[in-house]
Amino acid sequence: MGAPWSWGNTLSISKLKIRNSTERRRLGYFSCSTGNPIDDCWRCDKKWHRQRKRLASCAIGFGRNAVGGRDGRFYVVTDPSDHDPVKPTPGTLRYAVIQDRPLWIVFKRDMVITLSQELIMNSFKTIDGRGVNVHIAGGACITIQYVTNIIIHGINIHDCKRTGNAMVRSSETHYGWRTMADGDGISIFGSSHIWIDHNSMSNCADGLIDAIMGSTAITISNNYFTHHNEAILLGHTDSYTRDKMMQVTIAYNHFGEGLIQRMPRFFIFDFLLLVNWYQNFVEFLNLWCYFRCRHGYFHVVNNDYTHWEMYAIGGSANPTINSQGNRFLAPGNRFAKEVTKRVGAGKGEWNQWNWRSQGDLLLNGAYFTSSGAGASSSYGRASSLAAKSSSLVGMLTYSSGALKCRIGTPC
């Protein structure tokens, strides 16, 4: 006769499933052709560093037309300092991003850049960290405001702080007063044609990536998100209807450990009272584990969700969410098995919202609550990105985050 069932046994089994599913990332294998269309576009070339701008033709999804600084010259960052946000020193990252011409920005060596104030980018810029180990950390981080055609690739962005109440330059000809910034890793505000790819992001004062105020034509791909409370916010407020035009593709990302603090586990309460308290506390804090959407259309394809503490995908104000070929591995606690969370609406309202799950792999009790009557296949065509089988997610996301390749060696 087997041992009696216990909640502790269930937790142990759940932890084993999570460990087995995440440790595959340390196996150390890499094949040139992985099925990831972005990586397969350029990583198979051993001389990738001689054709850096080829990357601009490799984007997918709604941000696929972001050319960044493809049509400009290379600019080499040689100085990690950031002493004066109004009069930046030539050779610094801030000096490069405020230029009024297209630039493809690369780095001479490994460096840690601690920004004194927001790094306000000008249009038609690529920040390309391939071949070196670049961290933007410990200070302000990146602001993309009322500009277009931005690519950010291969950067470690973490420990971003709230800054502001200071003068900051945003172009060669303009600087102005900035109030307090939230401390987002990347803040996208009223901008379009944005591609955020192969970055490692964690532990910022507010969100890791926020896209608000009518921003659209955005792809967030191949990133590795960890150790943070509020990962991605898409949409300004429920009342800001300009965000209905927002279109975002979220593809091949790994949403990993520590993305939200564990809620306290109180086993001394009546179970039903505990569930009710937990749900109310979640609503009060208005936290989400991976991302929350307002209005707009969001294509969520072939991502790997290996940890969450509350829920994976939250939304309000009738967003359209098309989830295809993702892997959702529910956490060990008994309260967070549902992938989805509707905020600020009763079932009579949200059951009309188009939230679709197609070919998702739902593990360890995870479940996706679909709603609406939209055709997910037509949504997929709209973002020009066909989902691959969820069984391939491990390979598709194996190299998520900032790559550790060096010039002269394959990535």
The partner residues of 77 in beta bridges, in order of sequence, read 107
Give φ, ψ of 95 to 5 degrees. -60, -40
Closest CA to 286 of 229, 333, 331, 332: 229
Q: CA–CA separation, 312 vs 308, rounded Å?
A: 6
Cα separation values, 148 from 120, 186, 312, Å: 12, 14, 29
Catalytic residue among 24, 73, 109, 262: 262
Residue partners of 13: CB distance under 8 A and separation at least 6? none
For residues 178 and 165, the answer to whether their CB atoms sit within 8 Å is yes
Q: CA–CA separation, 44 vs 308, rounded Å?
A: 33
In the numeric block, the tokens 């800001």 are attached to 240
Q: CA angle at residue 302 from 297 to 303, to 5 degrees?
A: 85
Q: CA–CA separation, 229 vs 145, rounded Å?
A: 24
361: left (phi over 0), alpha (psi -120 to 50) or beta: beta
Give φ, ψ of 21 to 5 degrees. -80, -25
Question: Residue 162: how many CB atoms within 10 A of its CB?
Answer: 13
For residues 402 and 200, the answer to whether their CB atoms sit within 8 Å is yes
The partner residues of 367 in beta bridges, in order of sequence, read 338
Quick check: is 262 catalytic? yes
402 by Cβ neighbours in 10 Å (0-12 / 13-18 / 19+) ranks as buried
Residue partners of 28: CB distance under 8 A and separation at least 6? none
Closest CA to 308 of 258, 233, 370: 258
145: left (phi over 0), alpha (psi -120 to 50) or beta: beta
Catalytic positions are 262
